[in-house]
Amino acid sequence: MQLYASPLSGNAHKIRMALAFLELPHEEITVAGPERKTPDFFRLNPLGQVPVLVDGDTVIRDSQAILAYLAALHRPGEWDGRDAVERGRIAQWLSLAANEIANGPAMLRLGKLFGVDIYEPGARAMTAKAFPVLDAHLASRDWLEGDRLTIADLAVSPYVALAPDGGIDLAGFPNITRWLARIAALPNFPSMQGWPAA
């Protein structure tokens, strides 16, 4: 199994966490920005983005899709929902990760850490919309859905944990802070720059 990734990508870290928690042997292949625009990489992902997971003859792109694949293959029910209600609620968080989180704190981090030209007011508005909802949801629970880690937690947490890179202070969100610490304390948690293991 090969994971095509970048060390600073929060989307790649979602998959790095999943593979570590599943204890799946794999090779991580770092793909720098210019390399993602080559014909060889376009054959893996025509969008020219990481992460990409290659599992034998199976090639999956997009972090949410890879999480769904790994859950269905290795933790069916436990990671992707035990019934229709859990599956629907987990899917809501995958959508939040792909929309409000990607266009909020992840975008702010892209601007500050990598100098990408972004529309900062829009990204701040997205963050201001998502974080209070997330913090309130976590006030009465340890995990986003159910009584356990699921792909909802894996999808949402990296760019929330890395929000300080984009100038977002997490001090006002105590439930988020506790949730991130809980994830970082799990056995085999892989550290990354900006989010060390507890």
CATH number of residue 96's parent domain: 1.20.1050.10
Q: Which domain holds residue 90?
A: 84-184
**Domain presence at residue 111:** yes
**Domain presence at residue 194:** no
Domain match, 91 and 163 both: yes
97: left (phi over 0), alpha (psi -120 to 50) or beta: alpha
Domain match, 100 and 176 both: yes
Let me know the angle formed at the C-alpha of 182 by 160 and 4, rounded to the nearest 5 degrees: 55
Domain count, the chain: 2
All residue ranges of the chain with pLDDT < 50 are none
Q: What is the pLDDT of residue 184?
A: 98
Domain match, 129 and 172 both: yes
Strand partners, 54: 2, 59
Question: What's 67's domain CATH number?
Answer: 3.40.30.10
Domain match, 70 and 99 both: no
Q: How far apart are CA 177 and CA 180, in angstroms?
A: 5
Domain match, 95 and 61 both: no
